[in-house]
Chains A and B, each alone.
Chain A
Amino acid sequence: MATTSFQKKARVKINQIPGTKPSLFNNQLLISSGVPSLDNIIGGGLAVGTVCLIEEDVYGSYSRLLLKYFSAEAAMTGHSLLLASADQDPQLIVKELPGPILDDPGDVTKGNTPEQSENMKIAWRYQHLPASQAGHSSSKFGHYYDLTKVMEPQLISSVNPALVGIEELERECKECKDLNPKYKYLLKRIEEEIDRGHFSTTEQTDKRSILRIAVHSLGSPLWDECGGLASNQEDLDYSLPRFLLALRVLMRSAFAVCMITIPTHLFQIPGYVGRLRKMCDTVLHMDSFAGSDKEKNPAFKEYHGLFNIVQLPRLNSLLCHMPDTLDFAFKLRRKKFTIEKLHLPPELSETANRNQEDPVPHLQPSTAICSTTKPNKLDF
């Protein structure tokens, strides 16, 4: 039978690198951040060659969780990983990576095989197509994780993560005039890692992979950062923006993605955070309710914090991905961390007392009312 011209146009180059997909907007190669709900709202995922900045929540617990997801995704897709932290032992972070939820797609395809061998009588045109998207199962884009479990050590050791801890930073850093020595050393390590794994765009390798760089709490006091102030507390210290510029240069010429968390709430100089944002590509802001009044606010009772998109990268196009809204909220369930659109709950209770309604009681003459009953809504 002659085949019709109606065939699905197959691209010759399909996803040569595991765990990546091309963007629908600008053909940029994307990788998953490890949280599928986050990938969705930032336009599919993190573009290869970019730096993602996460502005930490006050206690840093949720931003650390995002970093763990990002690192866990490396183990699942076989990407290389470099993890640096001065605040916490990177060994410990790696040990605490969440365990993946494997829906075991292998069994599903096996079950389908007897059906496939039959000749299709009606939808015969689809016969040559695979029953399901087999082959992608192991390297599919974005995984779900179970926070109650930890990842098996052999899965982590399979990607052989490079870890940079505080002892190494203290030991190895050398005096540097232009840059904070610890940043300098981290840049050197990233450069070495790119060389070692042949991630540079100029190098030709048979087996291309992606380097994921996760930097925890960069710019915290343990990195010797004073939030833009120099050690004499008068002059400005430009180390952090300089570091980010150099990092951008490294990223742009490598198959690598960097995710940094910075405790921006520690920085006091006005406009300094704005400058740091400009030096990164994707900027996300986390604001946890822990310890603030919002924790008890009934409007936010479903969520654990607010999540804002501050900046999205404009890459190879005039336009960046424009989501419907930039304001989201995150919640942490027992097993899962999700980011959702912020919805206020419906107002059901009779005795609702919102801030906007406060002015109304003031209008009533205070002398006339001696009773302790609350003002009824029907009073006017």
Chain B
Amino acid sequence: MEDVNNVLDIAKDDNLYGEVITLADSTADGTFLIHHFLSFFLGNNRPVCFVSLSQSFGHHKSVCQKLGVSLTQKIESSHLNFFDGLKVFGNRFLDTQPENVDISNTTSLQGFYKAIKTNYEDLQDKNKAPPVVIVDSLDVLLNIGYQVKEISAFVQYLCHLISGPGCDARGTLITFLSIGENGLDEEASLLWRSVVHMSNMDVLVSGLESGYCKDVHGKIEVKRRNLLKKNSQKTMQFKVNDKSVNFFASGMSRAVLG
């Protein structure tokens, strides 16, 4: 997955302290970015607090296994804290009385934030290093009825959390969001814009305008808000493989040229 680092202008041993990164996808699938960041930080021995709202642990475990990181080992060595948000929020609508009702409260995300905060501080104490918070799919929160302002306030809280005291350096926040097709979903687009506003870097993965193609899966747009760096904007096309992602300039796919 080194190619992804090249595209995002991230050095191999970059720590990305204090960065807030927003990942989004619309018509193509951008979840490979989450797995990239998860394996990247764990490979660099940064503690990670991973909040999964859209997929089960088994899925992430298998993918990271392919990328060379064992999540179960990382949990045992307390480098990783996996928060199974899918279960917590899903169980609220099932008959099983969940133990943590206040986390999945319908009206407020306070409880959810507090749960993440506890995990974050726990990781920080154990590792003596600022952790990374990765939230997989904010749009799940939107879908189950939380308002845009609540979710953006939640992200704001997380931004505050990673810049909090306790360590010399700041933590890192990475959020993922699916914004749906061509801005049809106004709420999701609004949420995306407000989250992007809080971030230093945003990455948008979208499908090709010409439609589906087996050999070019979509395009990726990277924007940085840091004006000191020169390449503040970049657009590439990509193809996801079994264990890696290939990037190429628009229209320069091997399938097109060959």
Contacts and interface: CB of A to CB of B under 8 A. Distances in A.
Contacts of B74: none
Given A252-B56, A317-B63, A271 B144 contact: no
Interface in B127-169: 139-140, 142-145
Interface string A314-329: 1111111011111000
A322 B140 CA distance: 25
A90 to B, nearest CB: 22
B188 interface: yes
Interface stretch (B14-22, B179-187, B227-235, B247-255): B179-187
Interface size grouping (class) on chain B = 35 or more
Contact of B180 (A179, A184, A275, A322): A275
B214 A322 contact: yes
B32 interface: yes
A241 B144 contact: yes
Nearest to A244: B143
Interface in B30-72: 31-32, 35, 54, 56, 58-59, 62-63, 66
Interface string A262-286: 0000000011101100110000000
A290 interface: no
A146 interface: no
A323 B90 CA distance: 31
Interface string B237-258: 0001111010000000000000
B181 A238 contact: no
Nearest to B89: A245
Contacts, number: 112
A325 B87 CA distance: 34
Chain A interface residue bracket vs B: 35 or more
Given A242-B93, A271-B184, A278 B87 contact: no
Contact of A318 (B95, B143, B184, B240): B240
B59 A249 contact: no
Given A178-B106, A315-B59, A323-B214, A249 B184 contact: no
B95 A271 contact: no
Contact of A250 (B94, B140, B214): B94
B178 interface: yes
A338 interface: no
B143 A324 contact: no
Given A275-B139, A278-B139, A245 B212 contact: no
Interface string B77-93: 00000000011011111
Contacts of A275: 139, 142-143, 180, 185, 188
A238 B63 contact: no
Nearest to B241: A319
Contacts of A177: 106
A371 B191 CA distance: 63
Contacts of B59: 315-316
A314 B94 contact: no
B29 interface: yes
Contacts of B62: 26, 316-317
Interface string A240-256: 01110110111011000
Given A245-B90, A270-B184, A317 B144 contact: no
B35 A324 contact: no
Contacts of B87: 249
Contacts of B139: 275, 278
Interface in A319-350: 319-320, 322-326
Given A188-B95, A271-B185, A238 B90 contact: no
Contacts of B31: 314, 318
Interface of A: 26, 177-179, 184, 187-188, 191, 236, 238, 241-243, 245-246, 248-250, 252-253, 270-272, 274-275, 278-279, 314-320, 322-326
24 contacts: A191-B95, A238-B144, A241-B144, A242-B143, A243-B93, A248-B86, A248-B90, A249-B91, A270-B186, A271-B184, A271-B186, A274-B184, A275-B142, A275-B143, A278-B139, A278-B143, A278-B178, A278-B180, A314-B29, A317-B63, A318-B31, A318-B32, A318-B63, A324-B214
